[in-house]
Structure 1
Amino acid sequence: MRQFRRGAAAAVLLVLPAVAQAEETPAAASPDTAAIARQTMGLGPDDQDLARLSLEELAMVEVTSVSRRPEALADAAAAIFVISADDIRRSGATSLPEVLRLAPNLSVQRVNAVDYAISARGFNGYETSNKLLVLIDGRSIYSTLNSGVLWDAHDVMLQDIERIEVISGPGGALYGSNAMNGVINIITRSAHDSRGTLLSVGAGDDDDALALRHGGDFGGAGSWRAWLTGHRRNESQSVTGAEANDDARGVRAGVRADWSIGEDRLTLQGDAFDNEVAVNENLLGVETSVRGASVLGRWNRPLAGGEFQVQAYYDRYERTEPDSVEEADTWDLSVQHAFAFGPHQVVLGAGHRVVESRFFATSSIAFLDPAERTLTLTNLFVQDQIALDHGLTLTVGAKFEDNSFSGQEFLPNVRLAWRRPGGDLLWAAVSRASRTPNRIERDLTFPGFLVGGDFQSETATAWELGYRANPRPRMSFSINAFYNVYDGLRTVSVNPATFLPLTLTNHGEAKTWGVEAWGSYDVSPTWRLSAGVSTLTKDYDPTPTPEDISGLISIGDDPDYQVLVRSQHDLTDAVELDVRLRAVGDLAVVDDYVEADVRLGWQLTDRLELSLTGQNLIEDRRVETGDPIRGRAFGRTVFGALQVSF
């Protein structure tokens, strides 16, 4: 019932004080991209070259998330940050949310042992981080129950990630629902790049981790891999230092195959997991079982001067607690064709998704009415990138979407980019995006207190301006500014005649603006310094009114700044030292803080690596979220890992 509690609390529980007061799925990675990635991983028998790509080479790494087709990072007219496989390896992170701390355009708040709140450009908080679309190899993982992401249920084997593309800003014209403030696209490696055997074991005072992978060839043009991971997360602490009883453990296994038949390229992959976590709002540690599985197939082939792709996946999710059972079965089918003619680069496609959602609660205090729903989401999209004279490129696109709750949505996007003679890129964009209603917002019922209403989509109109450059061979940077206008944000309204029952409505409005910037400088061929900063200002009216007694609590709780600094230094040919600092501004009830992580790695042989990572080294105990129910404290941790490939 944790996910239900999360959405229910977002809708009602966090506004109880106000009540009292008032009453007193993209394209696959190209072979060229995989070849570049192999140079940075050092994870298998074919890819032990740890030589770092130069900043100029990194600018030419292909990304697929901005235009849903391969393009050089230097040409992508969006606020995009790429986390490479080498970045992940050198981070010492043991989970996907911890890896995402590397992106300066994301806000990451750890809530407890397994839960995180992650957002881009505001609205963060465990109850409010619901405007970010996350994809794993084209599979959407946000929940139709509460529009958030349960990160403990969607982990991946970190050694198999090729790259993570993080876009801050709307992506509705290409990705539709939930791509309101950003898109995280997690792309795993082809089976061709993971042949051989890899074993990684790690232990620490906060985490234990195991990863095992084996891959090989089949036929004349195919490769496969199978993998198994296991983890244990130690319990966090309450803000007073008491044990929080929220330890967790789990296993996940999967397979992937990639092969070619003539011009056709095919991918088939699947995984299953079984986790045991603890619901710990009251520090009692109620055991919860979280299980699931997914299978995905993708077919690519050249067509009419471009590439045609068909992708389908099925996803199963189940959460069982003593007082509730949640189940969701998702079927998704999408097609797209990317092609060029004359000065035009066109991407067009369509998709259809069906979600069978079921939530059964033994408690009669709060429930979903009806308990079972079948939700559908259908979309059509087109985007045309037109090369104009004098280095100008105009991109025009739109997505038409139809969903079960709010009906039809039109999500346009216009971008203009100018490639200056020196090679730097100046771009501007205006976009519209939306977040469709979830089941909590439509079906949650507290008899006599809250009734389901006619909640509609939240919408955002965003203006963006960006500049990206490599002014010198050893220096690169990107700077982006944004101004967003939000309408129809979630509010809690009273009954005009009787006050109760309450209803979830769309009376909220807000404006946000800020700057995101990051860059890197190679001090020497063996030492790279990187830094990133993001700022956020929010303009909204928090005054409780009959239309919104919550004071627009759905706006979230965000720091007004975040600064990340990273040093990657190869002390010798075999020894690496990585230091990361982050400074985060204060929240409503949490002070600002500065924290440090340090990793020391030894490449003992071409196939054997040992590392030691210390995290949260500055403060004895630190809280990252202002959540009054779930906020937990974390202290210093040390994690050692041994990785061998053969």
Structure 2
Amino acid sequence: MSRRFPFLVYAASLCANALAQPVSFEEEEKALSRIYGGEEMVSIASGYKQPISKAPSIATVITAADIKQIGATDIDEVLETVPGLHVERNTIGYNPIYTFRGIFSQFNQQVLMMINGIPITNAYTGSRSEVWGGMPVQDIARIEVVRGPGSAVYGADAFAGVINVITKTKQDIEGTEVGGRVGSFDTYDGWGLHGGEWAGFDVALALEYHKTAGQNSIVDADLQSQFDTLLGTNASLAPGPVNLSRDNLDARLDLSRGNWRFRGGLQHRSDWGNATGVAQALDPVNRFGSDRWNADLTYHSDEIDNWDLTTQLSYFETSQEIERNLTLFPAGTTLPIGANGQIGAGAPVTFPSGYIGNPEVWERHIRISQSFAYTGFQQHQLRSGIGFNYDSLFKARVSQNFGIDPATGTPIPSQPGIPLIDVSNTSSTFIPTVDRKVAYLFLQDQWNFANDWSLTAGARYDRYSDFGNTFNPRAALIWEARYDLTAKLMYGSAFRAPSFQEMYIINNPAQLGNPTLKPETMENIELGFDYRPLDNLHLGLNFFNFWWNDIIRFVPDANTTTSTAQNTGTQHGYGTEIEAEWQAIDTLKITGNYAYQESRDETLNFDAGYAPQHQVYLRLNWEFLPEWSFSPQAKWIVGRSRGFGDARAPIGDYTWVDLTLRRQNLLKHVDIAFSVRNLFDVDAREPSLAGIPQAAIPNDLPLASRVFFGEVSFKF
């Protein structure tokens, strides 16, 4: 508490100063217009638009203009600028792990990501997809981020944080834009945007293409290296480069007319390399593919006095497909194989083509919802809604050269040549087809019970077909102490639904599902301050304290090599976040933030590890000549401990610096930009997973070396 006490004293002094200096009504109205007139609005905090300072949560809004200043080419580079959020990396495909406030897990199921307010969560892993492949930024109008729980509004997985990506409409584009980018590691990007009218409809179209060979940082040793040491073999491909090739196509359509809006999209991923290997053994052979289709139809009306009605129907289909064999362990590997044909106690078997398993899944998600908002009461703003979600893993397919051959009942490795056997739709498959039905209702009231005071209170009830009920309340007390200072005291709870993988996976050499799992739960208390002492200066300060319970982990089974998913463990965390935005002069804007967190595994009485204890971010945007801007930024990542049982030294700190130089409106229609990532070519690494008896990748996950990009775009 001693480290946080000075901040509380400072916050209290701000409030006391506000009470001691009354202003006239006219002065206050003028100041409010000046200060909040240009303030960003946020909708995901409560379900309707309101200024960030008055929202019942700690929120960040990043606009398309901000994204340009950052020089970002992918959404991960944008999110890394949010206070208290660090983008770590999964060993599989270097998929992003959006670590909010020290809440880390391999598949990052504790973060809800939405596109235009609709979740894109896969039921199989509970994440955004194992074949994620990044998300381009040209068609993003704004990104809203809430730090802390949001299940009272959005239900499952709005746990550690919520990210809502809002794509561009006709009004955001107004005309046509085409552009291209080239960069290091044979990276090529191209895009086209169009906003206009057609047959009475407002139309927005976006097409974005990305292809890269991927960064080629070297992994020194992997899990196969350990098998080689134990068995005297030499099959490991380490030292060797990570496998991060990508071939992405993103397409979106937005049609609106009157009260109706239709949106559709495709995220196509192919030639997708899995980085350090699915089993943490280098695999240059494998390529994944995926298609993520989405469509939604929304009817919104505010034409009836005091009523705001929204009806929405959405469809989302996603896949995880194998384009080239998933080689869990490389050609020539020798592994101990048990009587079930899996890795375990048994005789060593050599696999000439590698230890191969090709799991594929296809999912569809259908959602229908109806929400109501009523403002007819003098002091209350009510919002309620009901909805139904249907999640279906409707097809699973797998071929492999291990396990039991369902046709013969004998282990596959006992057969000559160790062929690939298709075990789909048999007792030897890795997961059955399964579905989940969710019905929910929620209610929220914003009560302006006194001058400058409001209380937002609400709750949501969810009924799941596979694990039962969950109820999540929230409350936020907001005090507008004066026209430039707002204080918030907030409580929220959340839950994370078990994934299909955690509940139903079978015949896996490492992990097994558990259909009796309960959801993870979260309780969070926050105190926040929003202070705008000058027209050109915005300061934020907040404190948080959370309890993460019933954590789902894979616990080793007795006398076997497998682990089974269990609800076990509690994590407690607390910390502070400070942020500032200062328009120093008309041509110079300075943005920065600092985040501190402590997280402890209460069950093991040990630091939770992985996440940085300190993060510092600083960005300048300097318009040094008309239409010219220079934007350097730096991020310091400090103090990452190892988890329980991991005897390695702490993960090394690093300072990451980027530069972007941009010229706009060249010849009135052309923009050009040049960017450098990792300017000082630091050896930055993200933590690899702990292991028993040692980490599979002992020297962590190397990030890219210095990277250059150049781009040009045309508007007409």
**TM tier, smaller:** 0.7 to 0.9
Partner of 1:19: none
2:636 counterpart (574, 578, 583): 583
Displacement of 1:378: 1.8
Structure 1 residue 346: deviation in Å?
1.1
Answer with 521-530 or 599-608: which moved more: 599-608
Q: CA deviation at 1:381?
A: 0.7
Q: Residues 250 and 552 from structure 1, CA distance in 2 versus in 1: closer, same or farther, beyond 3 angstroms?
A: farther
Residues 1:108 and 2:116 are matched in the alignment: no
SS in 2 for 1:87: helix
Q: Distance in 2 between matches of 1:608 and 1:500?
A: 60
Q: Separation in 2 of the partners of 1:525 and 1:539?
A: 45
Residue 178 (structure 2) aligns with = 199
User: Which structure 2 residues correspond to residues 416-431 of structure 1 after superposition, within 5 A?
Assistant: 416-431=477-492
Of 596, 606, 617 in structure 2, the residue corresponding to residue 564 of structure 1 is 617
The aligned counterpart of 2:531 is 469
Matches within 5 A, 1:514-533: 514-533=575-594
Distance in 2, matches of 1:59 and 1:185, equals 21
Q: Structure 1 residues 268 and 430, CA, compared in 2 at 3 Å: closer, same or farther?
A: same
Q: Quick check: 1:138 aligned with 2:117?
A: yes
One of 673, 678, 692 as aligned partner of 1:616: 678
Q: Identify the residue that residue 67 of structure 1 maps to in structure 2.
A: 46
**TM-score computed with the length of structure 2 as normaliser:** 0.76
The 1:347/1:519 distance shift into structure 2, 3 A limit, reads same
Q: Which of the residues 420, 433, 439 maps onto 2:500?
A: 439
Answer yes or no: is the 8 Å Cα contact 1:562–1:585 preserved in 2: yes
Are 1:586 and 1:593, in contact at CA under 8 Å, matched by a contact in 2? no
Describe the shift of the 1:569–1:456 C-alpha distance in structure 2 as closer, same or farther (beyond 3 A).
same
Cα distance per residue 1:67-98 (max 9 Å; x no partner): 10111222113111111110111222111112
Aligned: 1:344 with 2:380: yes
Preserved CA contact (<8 Å) 2:251 2:267: yes
**2:368 corresponds to:** 333
1:351 shift after superposition: 1.6
Q: Distance in 2 between matches of 1:460 and 1:99?
A: 26
- Aligned counterparts of 2:273 and 2:448: Cα–Cα separation in 1: 54
**What does 1:399-414 align with in structure 2 at a 5 Å threshold?**
399-414=460-475
1:213 aligned residue (193, 196, 200): 193
Give 1:637 shift: 0.4
SS at match of 2:701: coil
1:235 to 203, 211, 214: 214
Q: Is there any run of 5+ residues in structure 2 with no aligned partner, and where?
A: 1-32, 221-238, 326-357, 405-427, 643-649, 690-695
Q: Distance in 2 between matches of 1:606 and 1:403?
A: 55
Tell whether the 8 Å contact from 1:191 to 1:258 is kept in structure 2 after alignment.
Answer: no
Amino acid at match of 2:292: G
Residue 318 of structure 2 is matched in structure 1 by: 317
User: 1:212 corresponds to which letter in structure 2?
Assistant: G
Correspondence 1:354 to 2:349: no
Partner of 1:642: 712
**Amino acid in the other structure paired with 1:483:** N
Corresponding residue for 2:334? none
In structure 2, relative to structure 1, the CA distance for the partners of 1:109 and 1:515 (3 Å cut) is same
Q: Offset at 1:368?
A: 6.5
| Contact map agreement 1:316 1:330 (CA 8 A) in 2 | yes
Q: Is the 8 A contact 2:489 2:528 kept in 1?
A: yes
The match for 1:267 is: 262
Q: How many angstroms apart in 1 are the aligned matches of 2:130 and 2:143? A: 15
Q: CA deviation at 1:526?
A: 1.0
Q: Could you say what secondary structure the match of 1:585 adopts?
A: strand
| Greater length-normalized contact order (CA 8 Å, ≥ 6 residues apart) | 1
Aligned residues: 579
Q: Quote the residue 1:56 is aligned against.
A: 35
Moved more, 590-599 or 140-149: 140-149
Structural RMSD (CA): 2.5
Amino acid at match of 1:609: D
Q: What residue is the counterpart of 1:283 in the other structure?
A: 282
- Whether 2:432 is the aligned partner of 1:379: answer no
Give, in whole Å, the separation in 1 of the partners of 2:512 and 2:156.
25
Kept in 2, the 8 Å contact 1:360–1:371? The answer is no
Tell me the alpha carbon deviations over residues 584-615 of structure 1, each in whole angstroms, 9 at most, x when there is no partner: 02433520111101100012233211000001
Q: Within 1, Cα distance between the matches of 2:563 and 2:131?
A: 32
Letter in 2 for 1:118: Y
Name which of structure 1's ranges 274-283 and 154-163 shifts more when overlaid on structure 2. Answer: 154-163
Separation of aligned partners in 2, 1:379 and 1:519: 38
Q: Deviations over 1:483-522 (max 9, x none)?
A: 11121112444668x6786432112112110111211112
| Matched letter for residue 405 of structure 1 | D
Q: What is the deviation of 1:342? A: 1.5
If you compute each CA radius of gyration, which structure gives the higher value, 1 or 2? 2
State whether residues 192 and 258 of structure 1, in contact with CA within 8 Å, keep that contact through their aligned partners in structure 2. Answer: no
For residue 203 of structure 1, report the CA deviation from its aligned partner: 0.4
1:467/1:219 Cα in 2 relative to 1: closer, same or farther (>3 Å)? same
Cα separation, partners in 2 of 1:474 and 1:365, compared to 1, 3 Å: farther
Q: Where does residue 520 of structure 2 map in the other structure?
A: 458
1:272 Cα offset (Å): 4.7
Moved more, 154-163 or 192-201: 154-163
Find the counterpart in structure 1 of residue 656 from structure 2.
595
Which sections of structure 1, spanning at least 5 residues, go unmatched? 1-53, 544-550
What do residues 566-601 of structure 1 show as CA deviations (whole Å, max 9, x unaligned)? 101111111100011000024335201111011000
Deviates more, 1:275-284 or 1:433-442: 275-284
In structure 1, what is the Cα distance between the partners aligned to 2:430 and 2:373?
42
Deviation at 1:559, TM superposition (A): 0.9
**What residue number does 1:120 align with?**
100
**Superposition deviation, residue 120 in structure 1:** 1.3
In structure 2, what is the Cα distance between the partners aligned to 1:271 and 1:501? Answer: 37
The alignment's TM-score, normalised by the length of structure 1, stands at: 0.84
Q: What is the CA distance between 1:450 and its match in structure 2?
A: 5.4
Please state how far the C-alpha of 1:379 moved relative to its aligned partner.
1.2
Mapped partners of 1:326, 1:151: distance in 2: 11
Secondary structure of 1:145's match? Answer: coil
Partner in structure 2 of residue 24 of structure 1 = none
**Residue of structure 1 in register with 2:152 after alignment:** 173
Distance 1:105 1:250, change over 3 A: same
Check 1:85–1:197 CA distance in 2 against 1; reply closer, same or farther (3 A cut).
Answer: same
Deviating more after overlay: 278-287 vs 306-315: 278-287
Any conservation in 1 of the 2:196–2:204 contact (CA below 8 Å)? yes
Gap change, CA 1:178 and 1:556, over 3 Å in 2: farther
CA contact (8 A) 1:89 1:159 kept: no
